[in-house]
């Protein structure tokens, strides 16, 4: 602990945007830091909504879009943690890679040690985002990614990295006394290209009718709720409501203790299904989802045919996954000079 600086960790990710997966990543990173002996008062978070982030997480927070505030946070912090997620990619826009590259470069100017944990790297369609990612991740003193696809990219760049499960596996989210909804199938669909949402909705709707199940939509972001409502209006599936999850507390109330299963696109929807212990069919629209499915041997949809669900065969692996997250995180932080 460097008492000359106000903070031990400046936590940077896609925080404050209303995407539950990223908010869970922040919560998990802070929980693991606390297990490493870093209290909340020694953490500052870069957020789009610093007031709400501070209220929810119990840490200091600054406006991620204000360069002066960001530089102050980095100058006052011993390390910068890129805390999980697909920060370096250009599937949606090259702007994400520009932003996080800029934060890492500012950290170096502020003599703040950058490191990353739980990252997915890529995919890249163009050279600009790839070059920015290579430079920023090359500047990190520790690199831990969450899938083999990312390891392969870093190896191609000549960068060493370790692999660990997603940070959210470190959270304890679900009580044991949840309600039973044996005839409910949970579904998560996010906007995507090539009419994938339409194909998935049609396949899920057919499966639910064939098996006599009720469909319930779970949205991890507002855009998920909007696309699922649109797909229902087209007659592709019939939903018994759509619930947008906005906090960790919502997770425990929204997931039944037993249900017919879950079919989803978002990585953290899939992780929540695994943690809740329900049969999961993952939709591998992105390498990070494929990586999760392959690591846990979760069934994947082939993106075109009918769907079917099996049993939750992955359950015996979860205690070890949880243990690995905490152990690798502690070892990584200690190598950076943490207490």
- DSSP character string of 301-331: --SSS-------TTGGGHHHHHHHHHHHHHH
Q: At a CB cut-off of 8 Å and minimum separation 6, what does 229 contact?
A: 242
The pLDDT profile of the chain, 339 residues, written as one tens digit per residue, is: 566 899 999 999 999 999 999 999 999 999 999 999 999 999 999 999 999 999 999 999 999 999 999 999 999 999 999 998 899 998 777 899 999 999 999 999 999 999 999 999 999 999 999 999 999 999 999 999 999 999 999 999 999 999 999 999 999 888 766 666 789 999 999 999 999 999 999 999 999 999 999 999 999 999 999 999 999 999 999 999 999 998 888 887 778 777 899 999 999 999 999 998 889 999 999 999 999 999 999 999 999 899 999 888 899 999 999 999 999 999 999 999 976
Residue 296 near residue 203, CB atoms below 8 Å = no
- Coil vs helix vs strand at 284: coil
Domain span(s) for CATH 3.40.50.720 in the chain:
7-163, 180-317
**Number of neighbouring beta carbons within 10 Å of residue 223:** 14
Q: Which two tokens stand for residue 86?
A: 């697909």
pLDDT at residue number 255: 80
180-317: which CATH architecture?
A: 3-Layer(aba) Sandwich (3.40)
Structure confidence at residue 1 (pLDDT)? 55
Q: How far apart are CA 195 and CA 285, in angstroms?
A: 11
Q: Which CATH superfamily is domain 7-163 in?
A: NAD(P)-binding Rossmann-like Domain (3.40.50.720)
Least Cα distance to 17 among 96, 88, 70 occurs for 96
Tokens coding 71: 């530089």
Residue that is written with structure tokens 């908010």 in the block: 23
């Amino acid at each position: 602990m460097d008492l000359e600086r106000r903070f031990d960790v400046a936590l940077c990710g896609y925080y404050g945007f209303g995407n539950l997966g990223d908010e869970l990543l922040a919560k998990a990173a802070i929980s693991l830091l606390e297990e490493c002996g870093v209290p909340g008062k020694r953490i500052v978070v870069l957020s789009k909504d610093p007031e709400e982030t501070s209220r929810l997480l119990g840490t200091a927070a600054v406006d991620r879009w204000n360069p002066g505030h960001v530089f102050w946070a980095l100058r006052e912090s011993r390390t910068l943690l890129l805390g999980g997620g697909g920060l370096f990619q250009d599937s949606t826009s090259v702007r994400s890679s520009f932003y996080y590259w800029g934060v890492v470069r500012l950290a170096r100017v502020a003599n703040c040690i950058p490191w990353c944990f739980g990252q997915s790297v890529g995919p890249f369609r163009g050279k600009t985002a790839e070059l920015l990612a290579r430079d920023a991740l090359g500047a990190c003193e520790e690199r831990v990614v969450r899938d083999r696809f990312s390891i392969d990219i870093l190896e191609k760049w000549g960068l060493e990295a370790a692999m660990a499960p997603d940070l959210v596996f470190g959270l304890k989210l679900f009580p044991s006394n949840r309600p039973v909804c044996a005839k409910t199938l949970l579904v998560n669909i996010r906007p995507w290209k090539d009419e994938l949402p339409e194909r998935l909705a049609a396949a899920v709707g057919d499966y639910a009718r064939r098996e006599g199940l009720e469909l319930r939509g779970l949205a991890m972001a507002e855009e998920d709720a909007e696309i699922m409502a649109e797909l229902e209006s087209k007659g592709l599936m019939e939903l018994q409501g759509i619930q947008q999850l906005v906090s960790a507390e919502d997770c425990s109330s929204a997931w039944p203790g037993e249900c017919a299963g879950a079919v989803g696109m978002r990585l953290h929807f899939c992780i929540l299904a695994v943690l809740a212990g329900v049969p999961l069919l993952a939709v591998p629209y992105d390498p990070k989802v494929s990586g999760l499915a392959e690591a846990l041997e979760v069934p994947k949809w082939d993106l075109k045919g009918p769907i079917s669900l099996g049993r939750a065969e992955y359950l015996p692996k979860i205690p070890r996954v949880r243990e690995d997250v905490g152990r690798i995180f502690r070892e990584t932080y200690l190598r950076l000079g943490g207490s």
